[in-house]
Structures are given as C-alpha cells and as structure tokens.
C-alpha cells in the first residue's frame, strides 16, 4: 500500500487543535499549511507526495492507514511535533 498525503506540522498541541478546528469549519487546508506549518512541504500546501510503508514515522503512517481518501485526521503527535494530515490518495 502507498499513500499520498498533505500535512500541517506545528510545535504545540494547542495550536494544532486550533488549526484543526478552523479546517473542520471550512478553512482551506493548503492555505493553512502555507501560513502555519513548520515543515518545508508548506511551500506546496503541505503536499508530501507518495510514500510507502516505513517511509514516515510510525504514528504518521498508522494514521494514514486508518483514513479514507479525502479525509482529515485528528491531531497526530510524533517526535517532530503535532500533525494534521489530509489523505489525498491510496494505491
């Protein structure tokens, strides 16, 4: 299985919760990623492209395996910070 995803990475859980709420209320995911994410992928609206098993940290990969295409995760904590993930493809 491979996944295609975008994400927003921030340092604090409170900021992640706030951004997650805004996205659920209709804010544009890519625009939020460009404005707030600390990951270099922010320049592409958070797009990480395609990746397979073992390419992402376990918590991130686990979240992707449980998601349907087009869905947005809750806040996912990893060693890098707090992620909000949007799954954009599966194959």
- List pLDDT tens digits, range 30-70: 999 999 999 999 999 999 999 999 999 999 999 999 999 99
3.10.50.40, 3.40.50.720, 1.10.760.10, 3.30.70.100: CATH of 3-90: 3.10.50.40
pLDDT of amino acid 32: 98
Q: What are phi and psi of 60, to 5 degrees?
A: -65, -50
> In the structure, what pLDDT confidence band is assigned to residue 71 with cuts at 50, 70 and 90?
very high
Domain boundaries along the sequence of the chain:
3-90
CA distance linking residue 17 with residue 15, whole number of Å: 5
CA distance linking residue 34 with residue 82, whole number of Å: 16
Q: Which residues contact 27 (CB under 8 A, 6 or more apart)?
A: 19
- DSSP-derived secondary structure for 9-30: EES-HHHHHHHHHHHHTT--HH
């Amino acid at each position: 299985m491979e996944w295609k995803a975008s994400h927003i990475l921030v340092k604090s859980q409170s900021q992640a919760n706030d951004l997650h709420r805004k996205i659920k209320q209709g804010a544009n995911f890519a625009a939020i990623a460009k404005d707030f994410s600390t990951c270099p992928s922010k320049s592409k609206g958070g797009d990480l492209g395609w990746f397979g098993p073992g390419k992402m940290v376990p918590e991130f990969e686990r979240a992707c395996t449980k998601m349907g295409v087009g869905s947005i995760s809750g806040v996912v904590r990893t060693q890098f910070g707090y992620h909000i993930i949007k799954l954009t493809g599966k194959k």
